[in-house]
Amino acid sequence: MITEDIKYIGVNDHEIDLFEGQYDVPNGMAYNSYIIFDEKIAVFDTVDKKFGDKWLCNVKETLDGKNPDYLIVSHMEPDHSANIDKFLLAFPKAEVVATGQAFSMMERFFGENYEGRRIIANNGDSLSLGKHNLTFYTAPMVHWPEVMVTYDSFDKVLFSADAFGKFGALDIEEDWACEARRYYFGIVGKYGKQVQMLFEKLDGLDIKTICPLHGPVLSENLGYYLGLYDTWSKYLPEEKGVVICYTSVYGNTKKAVELLAAELREKGCPKVTINDLARCDMAEAIEDAFRYDKIVLATTTYNSEIFPFMHEFITGLVERGFKKRKVGFIENGSWAPQAAKYMRKMFEKTIGLEYCNTVVTILSAVNCETEEKISELAKELI
Ligand code: FEO
């Protein structure tokens, strides 16, 4: 129970291997769904297709013989929308409330736009359930263009769609920020500007509880969660520290990375994190890159470019609007090192990055000269 009138009816998914076909979710995933009981009854969102029957059971059990009046569709991504048809068949008098774009997507997904059973919600429109008055705010690109969030002024609850969500099922205890940050930068990170635009729309609302489509309901210390979202969506570093992301073929680049990390720690760098891009979770490395204020990229020259995992990583940063950080480079190349030049070129359209003057070049293996350059780079980063 979230409030006297609002109940949770979502499901946990521990069968999933990759969320959205790419994100590792060792602790599963939650697809959240809610019901508001009032003179009229509104259900918020469905769940992933695999859990349609279980979810419909939750809905019926919670309704306890009552009939829902509305299905409110916040987001059309199938992890939330897959069971719209199932719901409307089970409750033939219920109407669907969603943005116009969401109805167009329903037609594309299900061949049906529910004409005659649909209420199109525009930004700022309201729907009264009785004492609960719902106001809809469009939230384009947080995370798809059709998204809307809903504010219930009676219980002061924000139904926030994908915003404030995280990886992980709800029957597992884990730190919120770590998996929420990985989720944010993986899924919504490119759309910081749109998150800020949504914040402007919501400015002035008295929010006591946030009900997202993934992750736990947030009802305490909301300033903490709102503050982190504000930092993330403004692309500001959250902490001082250096993240070193590298690839290494025979261990020589790795050795340089380890020397740099040791030197940074010795010089009192508050936090040094290392990611081997060939072996770590790429989404975790992206998360780290956005978390700290400095990053060092170390890789080999490969096929006249750079090692593939580094290519993938930098592409991931650039497409998410990586900025407001200091960047250092370490390159390795036995006969024609050009990885640093190539990495820098990958950021050429990125504004708001500061580059270290020192570039460490390894010619096959670390030697005294390289060690001196590593020290210089460490000094610059401190
Ligand atoms: Fe949880 Fe964008 O879907």
* Domain 239-381 in CATH 3.40.640.10: no
Pocket of ligand 1 contains residue 146 by CB under 6 Å: no
pLDDT in the model for residue 375: 98
Pocket of ligand 1 contains residue 79 by CB under 6 Å: yes
pLDDT in the model for residue 291: 98
Residue nearest to atom 3 of ligand 1 (CA): 77
Spacing, Cα 260 to ligand 1 middle (Å): 39
pLDDT in the model for residue 159: 98
Mean pLDDT for 163-187 is 97
CATH of segment(s) 6-233: 3.60.15.10
Supply the mean pLDDT for the chain.
Answer: 97
pLDDT in the model for residue 225: 98
Spacing, Cα 247 to ligand 1 middle (Å): 31
pLDDT in tens, 26-74: 999 999 999 999 999 999 999 999 999 999 999 999 999 999 999 999 9
Pocket of ligand 1 contains residue 214 by CB under 6 Å: yes
**What does the H/E/C string look like for the chain?**
CCCCCEEECCEEECCCCEECCCEECCCCEEECCEEECCCCCEEECCCCHHHHHHHHHHHHHHHCCCCCCEEECCCCCHHHHCCHHHHHHHCCCCEEEECHHHHHHHHHHHCCCCCCCEEECCCCCEEECCCCEEEEEECCCCCCCCCEEEEECCCCEEECCCCCCCCECCCCCCCHHHHHHHHHHHHHHHHHHHHHHHHHHHCCCCCCEEECCCCCCECCCHHHHHHHHHHHHCCCCCEEEEEEEECCCCCHHHHHHHHHHHHHHHCCCCCEEEEECCCCCHHHHHHHHHHEEEEEEEEEEECCEECHHHHHHHHHHHHCCCCCEEEEEEEECCCCCCHHHHHHHHCCCCCCEEEEEEEEEEECECCHHHHHHHHHHHHHHC
Pocket of ligand 1 contains residue 166 by CB under 6 Å: no
Spacing, Cα 219 to ligand 1 middle (Å): 21
Spacing, Cα 142 to ligand 1 middle (Å): 9
Pocket of ligand 1 contains residue 325 by CB under 6 Å: no
pLDDT in the model for residue 108: 96
**pLDDT class of 377 with cuts at 50, 70, 90:** very high
pLDDT in tens, 263-304: 999 999 999 999 999 999 999 999 999 999 999 999 999 998
pLDDT in the model for residue 277: 98
Domain definitions of the chain by residue range: 6-233, 239-381
At a CB cut-off of 8 Å and minimum separation 6, what does 227 contact?
none
**pLDDT class of 110 with cuts at 50, 70, 90:** very high
pLDDT in the model for residue 218: 98
Residue nearest to atom 1 of ligand 1 (CA): 162
pLDDT in the model for residue 270: 92
Give exposure, 73-109, as e/b (b: 16+ Cβ within 10 Å): bbbbbebbbbbbbbbbeebeebbbbbbebbbebbeee
**pLDDT class of 101 with cuts at 50, 70, 90:** very high
Pocket of ligand 1 contains residue 77 by CB under 6 Å: yes
**pLDDT class of 104 with cuts at 50, 70, 90:** very high
At a CB cut-off of 8 Å and minimum separation 6, what does 295 contact?
242, 243, 244, 245, 289, 325, 326, 327, 328
pLDDT in tens, 188-247: 999 999 999 999 999 999 999 999 999 999 999 999 999 999 999 999 999 999 999 999
Mean pLDDT for 340-347 is 97
Spacing, Cα 355 to ligand 1 middle (Å): 35
